Homo-oligomer: A and B are copies of this chain.
Amino acid sequence: MKLTQEKCEACQVGAPKVTSEEQEQFLQELDDWIVITEVKETRNYVDNETSTTKKINKLFKEYKFKNYALALEFATQVANLAEQENHHPLIALEWGRVRVWWWTHAIEGLHKNDFVCAAKTDEL
């Protein structure tokens, strides 16, 4: 089944992250989406030496537009899709461009849902 034909399923803590094989396969179905890894380092305040590093994968894409009105219209459509799927990305709106990051907070990484939503974002 194509990603765009699937629906977001409710996702909770403990839900499976995509494997690297799945990630490869899903990315091939998408246009110009890339996986970025956000690295968060939390330093131990007591000894100021040890720290915990957390890596969160996110799906990212930048869309360009000729003017602000078109960019705003697209950002609003992405937001409406988010409500419909009950899955909410980070949307960054500026003059002439919209950037979108999909990931699943509950599992701090990528779920199949994120690829489904990315595919649907491209269809808007």
Contacts and interface: CB of A to CB of B under 8 A. Distances in A.
A88 B95 CA distance: 6
Interface in A61-82: 68-69, 72, 75-76, 79, 82
A92 interface: yes
Contacts of A68: 79, 82-83, 88
A92 B95 contact: no
Nearest to A82: B68
Contacts of A76: 72, 76
Contact of A90 (B69, B72, B92): B92
Contacts of A72: 76, 79, 83
A93 B75 contact: yes
Interface of A: 68-69, 72, 75-76, 79, 82-83, 88-95
Given A68-B82, A69-B83, A75-B75, 13 more contacts: A68-B79, A68-B83, A68-B88, A72-B79, A75-B79, A75-B93, A79-B93, A88-B94, A89-B94, A90-B92, A90-B94, A91-B92, A92-B92
